[in-house]
Amino acid sequence: MSNPKLIVSSSPHIRDVDTIPRIMHTVNLSLLPAVLMAVYYFGFYALMIILTCVIFSVLTEAIWQKLRGKEITISDGSAILTGLLLALTLPPRLPLWMAALGAIVAISIGKQVFGGLGYNPFNPALVGRAFLLAAFSVEMTTWYLPGAGVDATSTATPLALMKMSGQPTSYWDLFIGNIGGSLGETSALAIILGGAYLIYKGYVDYRITIGYLGTVAVLTAVFGQDPIFHLLSGGLVLGGFYMLTDMVTSPITKLGRWIYGIGAGVILVVIRLWGGYPEGVLYSILLMNMTVPLLNRYTRPRTYGEVKQ
Amino acid sequence: MKVKTFKQGIHPAYNKELTAGKALQKAKDPAQVVIPLQQNIGAPCEPLVKVGDQVKVGQKIGESQSFVSAPIHSSISGVVKAIREVEVGTGRKTLAVIIESDGQNTLHEDVKPKGDLDSLSGDEIREIIREAGIVGMGGAMFPTHVKLSVPEGKTVDTVILNGAECEPYLTVDHRIMIEHPEEVVYGLKALMKVLNVNKGYIGIEDNKSDAIEAMIKATENEPEIEVVPLETKYPQGGEKMLITAVTGREVPSGGLPADAGCVVNNVTTAYAIAKAIKTGMPLIERPVTITGRGIKEPKNLMVKIGTSVAELIEQAGGFKGKPGKVILGGPMMGISAHNIDVPVLKGTSGILVLTADEVEDFEPRPCIRCARCVDVCPVFLMPVTLANYAQHDMFAELENYNVLDCIECGSCSYICPAKRPLLHYIRLGKAEVLAQRRKK
């Protein structure tokens, strides 16, 4: 038998079917319920914001990669995800050019300056949102009730209502999203649906989500607040399932993930209860992002057979 | 069925249905065998024959004075045609005895029954095992008599037979357990006698329920032996994983199974031991699974050591489609050969042919820090971190992160969605750390 031309490489010779694009596109798809709810509550303009963010994220990524002479990898779905997540944190009537600017900043400063996918220390979508919040604080905190017409008067978010005037919102409205707020932070139901799917797929580690949400629930209860209200309001659910759990910017060890989730929960509660600002998701996540290298270093798992000294 | 297991690990597609139902057949007798003089981890053997010599089946043709070594025997009768360097599956060259068959299969006079277990002492059994050239047949080829010589100061109270066969595609251990359960039990009892222990386990993954049944039946009257069903999970058959799954003990870092009171042997090794005692036949043949979608008729064959891989591929109908990779062993830890004109060794458990289409072109992408490698590593290392350190020559960090504890199972590379060759880098790192240690 003649010797055929064979490929030689080191083991293993088989690989799992999952790839980075597959993961990213699955996460994108899991956001569909949230996107649909946003459009349902806030109308066609919500869709325009979402599309603007996605398109500008993808374009920005392509331009950066072109300029740096790198392979253009926009088909991997990660830029789409950044755009989607950013859009879901924006208020329903934000001018489109601001949304576009947010997307450009998210990809440029949040991701590409560090070298692109996998190298960014912060969640890019939240970098974009942080920029917009600082630059356009009025537009970024002008809220409308779902279903309100074009000339509707603005409202406050449930958290602001509670903080400023002690006025509660019904659990049911919070749960299904019939409240004032960002596009994706309104319907807890839609986010939990998508998030649960990601946990099932193993794309999200429950330790982070449970650590985060659980800490918020426990601490708010300890300080005499309504934990269910706090869980369902603001961007906590979106942050807990989609932002804090971002693979690139969260710890790689299991213990690290617990500490990371719990730490973010503590920061959030401090901001919400004693800060001058009604919401704390953004800063709790960005601040914990900074701790990840340290967490990875100090939460190394015990190696099999290793005796603790 | 209550199954035991270890923590973490992966669930690759097993692909055992290609051959699991196929009984072991005797391979066609080869016209010529190429028998390398190094078929164990340890010292190579010196040839005991010269060109032109007549040899018989079971005749010793190679031996070493070194303790960590196992003698080599002829698998056919015929004439020694040459003694020269040949290439083996790893691509390395080694001295080999090339024998042309006379077609007679004349048995050597020394091949005769060695007595029964009751009359033989433990030391005698260990000597029979050594003389028969028996090495670990799961692939590692570690001399079995060395494993059975427990270092002073350590006590072994448990012998575990590895019937997990966690490598995808491979089915020889499975077939041995179904077709020769009594021999496997006999081999286990011999091992227990050598080590003077009264607790024996046979660990089998639960995707081989027929093997579990066969072994339970064969151990009905053996109160000291327990069949342990294991979760079907890779690397369930890794020595450390198996010990932990079966006994709950951990092998200390840098230690031996004996440090956990255990000795582990493959079921096919136990079968070979039984044959060596009952018939006196040294290790001259072994079962090999010839399989994969690149093979026309996948099958399980009983193969004489030294038969060429190409010949066995032909006996399994030849290639189907364009072959991409020929792997000696399983797809997770086997070696991909560039040359199929190499001999089957004592540790060759399978010949797996992946088609060219199946061999994906893995273009590695940047790591997205998904940490799946950390989540699956059965020895709880941080493969992504180790691979990064290895790429940047950070040896102190590698050692500090216990790189030497890596069992090279490949689970990290398998699971990586960025298709990064993590194990490849870790191996390089290990080699460097060891080299630096030697320098000191």
Q: What ipTM did this prediction achieve?
A: 0.90
pLDDT of residue B420: 94
| Contact (CB<8Å) B366/A118 | yes
Q: What is the CATH number of domain B117-279?
A: 3.40.50.11540
Quickly state the pLDDT bin for A187 (edges 50, 70, 90).
confident
A7 vs B contacts (CB less than 8 Å): 324-325, 336, 356, 359
Residue A84 is inside which H or E element, if any? Answer: helix A78-88
Residue B417 in contact with partner chain A when CB distance is under 8 A: yes
Mean pLDDT lowest among A150-159, A245-254, A275-284, B106-115: A150-159
Mean pLDDT of A4-9: 88
A8 found inside a domain: no
pLDDT of residue A2: 66
| Contact (CB<8Å) B375/A254 | yes
pLDDT of residue A267: 96
Beta bridge partners of B265: B161
What percent of chain A clears pLDDT 90, i.e. is strictly above it? Answer: 69
How far apart (Å, rounded) are the C-alpha atoms in residues B344 and B329?
A: 10
* pTM score, whole prediction: 0.92
pLDDT of residue B113: 92
Give the total number of structural domains in chain A: 1
Q: Provide the residue range defining the domain that includes A272.
A: 20-298
End-to-end CA distance of chain A: 58
- Name the stretches of chain B with pLDDT < 50: none
Unique residue bearing structure tokens 């189907």: B320
pLDDT of residue A185: 78
| Contact (CB<8Å) B421/A248 | no
pLDDT of residue B183: 96
pLDDT above 90: residue A241: yes
User: Nearest CB to A1: which of B253, B314, B338?
Assistant: B314
Q: At what angle do helices B172-179 and B181-195 cross, to 10 degrees?
A: 100
Of A282, A238, A243, give the one whose Cα is nearest residue A132.
Answer: A282
Residue type, B40: N
Sign of the alpha-carbon dihedral angle for B377, B382, B386, B387: positive
How far apart (Å, rounded) are the C-alpha atoms in residues A123 and A131?
A: 13
Report the residue of B291, B333, B368, B394 to disrupt the A interface, i.e. the one with the largest count of A CBs within 10 Å: B368
A81-118, pLDDT tens digit by residue? Answer: 999 999 999 999 899 999 999 999 999 999 999 999 99
B257-270, pLDDT tens digit by residue? Answer: 999 999 999 999 99
Unique residue bearing structure tokens 């490698």: B373
pLDDT of residue B149: 93
User: Nearest CB to B323: which of A4, A10, A251?
Assistant: A4
pLDDT above 70: residue A254: yes
Higher pLDDT, B124 or A308: B124
pLDDT of residue B21: 93
B21-75, pLDDT tens digit by residue? Answer: 999 999 999 999 999 999 988 899 999 999 999 999 999 999 999 999 999 999 9
| DSSP helix/strand/coil, A230 | helix
φ/ψ of B422, rounded to 5, equals -60, -50
